[in-house]
Amino acid sequence: MNLHEYQGKDLLNSFGVEIQRGIVVQTPAEAVAAAKKLTEETGTGWHVIKAQVHAGGRGKGGGVKLAKNLEEVEQIAGDIIGMHLVTPQTSAEGKLVNQILVAEDVYYPGETETSEFYISVLLNRATGKNMIMYSTEGGMDIEAVAENTPHLIFNEEVEPSTGLLPFQARRVAFNLGLSGKAFKQMTKFVTALYTAYVKTDSSLFEINPVLKTSDDRVIAVDAKVTIDENALFRHKDYEALRDIREENAVEVEAKSVGLSYVDLDGNVGCMVNGAGLAMATMDLIKQAGGEPANFLDVGGTADAERVEIAFNLILKDPSVKAILINIFGGIVRCDRVAQGIIEAYKSIGTINIPIIVRLEGTNADIAKELIDKSGLDVFSVVEFQEAADKVQEVLA
């Protein structure tokens, strides 16, 4: 589960990580009030207005702007709220900005003694250890740094059983070229960040930039936080942080009816029972020259109702040119699934794309007969390979 920048920052701050202060708002008038409040609290005269969407690269797309007075706060807030922000990480249509963060300006005007660093915490799956990845080259595209100057990216592997040890935090601060007060602040920052990562059951923290201010504070200016969904049961309060406006609408709908659905870019919709078979089916589609339009596991109870819901989900994707239904009847009987497909098909009305059905397992023969006799425009096949050939044929 991804969080907005303001939510990520609040969460980090609750574990003692220093952050750029800000207030989230939804209208220009609220933005002005927030700016006044921040000036009272922090003394800042200038403010940054930051679009809150689940996508990085907002600065490049015009979603992060500096306001030097309250009129500018109001004007920029008005410009950004409601815009469709296009960044290197969004689609061409961009993401609708529903809310903005009004933040204190921490790059104090006229000062040049600031440094922007990159710090992330993530799981290194190869070693089974957590890892702090960091670089002196913050603020910009970390992918470009990795590509062009990989020696400027450092890793600190952390043994989960011991946690981050003090000498490791000092090594991070040292490699970032810090000394004196900034060095101390950085060791504190990294230590708090690592604690927050573990305590929140996150799978990724990416703080870019981490800023060293001209008065040697070390603060998170941005925060990308991804919480491990499998651990959400331990953090019931995090559920409120979910913003479904940022998620894929079809995936949200699928989840609400208990289906695992992942939207993909291809043209062949798939309806499969079991995650393993779903993966195999996607491979098969690729082999046949197609690209899967989705991953959909309808689970163990592929009855008429579920099949109909699944059909409707798949049909919402305009790029779907064919549907492959691949069900293995182990616990569920194939004839019941076939009946479900026929009923669902009839109740949806016309489906103008070819449907290929492969039902294998208990009562597969009865199922095939049911479909063949139904008079519907559905191809029933028995073998996996036949299904692949049929996909190829209908796409041709």
- Would you name the residues annotated as active-site residues? 118, 206
**Strand extents, DSSP E, the chain:** 22-25, 47-51, 64-67, 84-85, 95-96, 100-104, 115-124, 129-135, 153-158, 202-212, 218-220, 224-227, 260-263, 268-272, 294-297, 322-329, 355-361, 378-381
Which residues, in sequence order, are bridge partners of residue 380? 357
Toward ligand GDP, which CB reaches closer, 64 or 334? 64
Toward ligand GDP, which CB reaches closer, 103 or 119? 103
Chain-centre distance of CA 166, in angstroms?
32
Site size toward ligand GDP (CB under 6 A) is 17
Nearest Cα neighbor of 89 from 43, 39, 54, 62 is 54
Residue 155: CB minimum distance to Mn ion, A? 20
Please pick, from the candidates 4, 9, 21, 58, the single residue that binds ligand GDP as defined by CB under 6 A.
58
Toward ligand GDP, which CB reaches closer, 130 or 208? 208
Please pick, from the candidates 48, 133, 219, 293, the single residue that binds ligand GDP as defined by CB under 6 A.
48
Is residue 64 at the binding interface for ligand GDP, with CB under 6 A as the rule? yes
What does 139 interact with, of Mn ion, ligand GDP, none (CB < 5 to 8 A by kind)?
Answer: ligand GDP
Q: What angle do CA 341, 346, 350 make, to 5 degrees?
A: 110
| Contact footprint for Mn ion (CB under 5 A) | 208, 222
Locate 256 and state its tokens.
């609400």
Residue 216: CB minimum distance to ligand GDP, A? 16
What does 355 interact with, of Mn ion, ligand GDP, none (CB < 5 to 8 A by kind)?
Answer: none
Toward Mn ion, which CB reaches closer, 145 or 388? 145
Residue 235: CB minimum distance to Mn ion, A? 25
Please pick, from the candidates 45, 57, 274, 354, the single residue that binds ligand GDP as defined by CB under 6 A.
57
Is residue 105 at the binding interface for ligand GDP, with CB under 6 A as the rule? yes
Is residue 56 at the binding interface for ligand GDP, with CB under 6 A as the rule? yes
Q: Are 267 and 275 in contact (CB under 8 A)?
A: no
What does 85 interact with, of Mn ion, ligand GDP, none (CB < 5 to 8 A by kind)?
Answer: none
Please pick, from the candidates 29, 37, 66, 88, the single residue that binds ligand GDP as defined by CB under 6 A.
66
What does 221 interact with, of ligand GDP, Mn ion, none (CB < 5 to 8 A by kind)?
Answer: ligand GDP
Locate 60 and state its tokens.
């490049």
Q: Phi/psi at 198 (nearest 5 deg)?
A: -70, -45
Stretches 27-35, 49-57, 228-236, 306-314: which one binds ligand GDP (CB under 6 A)? 49-57
Q: Are 142 and 163 in contact (CB under 8 A)?
A: no
Query: Containing H/E element for 388?
Result: helix 384-395
Question: Cβ–Cβ contacts within 10 Å for residue 205, how many?
Answer: 24
Nearest Cα neighbor of 326 from 374, 366, 379 is 379
Residue 66: CB minimum distance to ligand GDP, A? 5
Locate 10 and state its tokens.
């609040």
Helix axes 304-315, 334-348, angle to 10 degrees: 50
Toward ligand GDP, which CB reaches closer, 224 or 306? 224
CA–CA dist 29, 98 (Å, integer): 14
β-strands 322-329, 268-272 pairing = parallel
AA identity, residue 3? L
What does 105 interact with, of ligand GDP, Mn ion, none (CB < 5 to 8 A by kind)?
Answer: ligand GDP
Is residue 139 at the binding interface for ligand GDP, with CB under 6 A as the rule? yes
What does 48 interact with, of Mn ion, ligand GDP, none (CB < 5 to 8 A by kind)?
Answer: ligand GDP
Binding mask 191-230 for ligand GDP (x = CB under 6 A): -----------------xx-----------xx--------
Applying CB under 6 A, the residues found at the interface with ligand GDP are: 48, 50, 56-59, 64, 66, 103, 105-107, 139, 208-209, 221-222
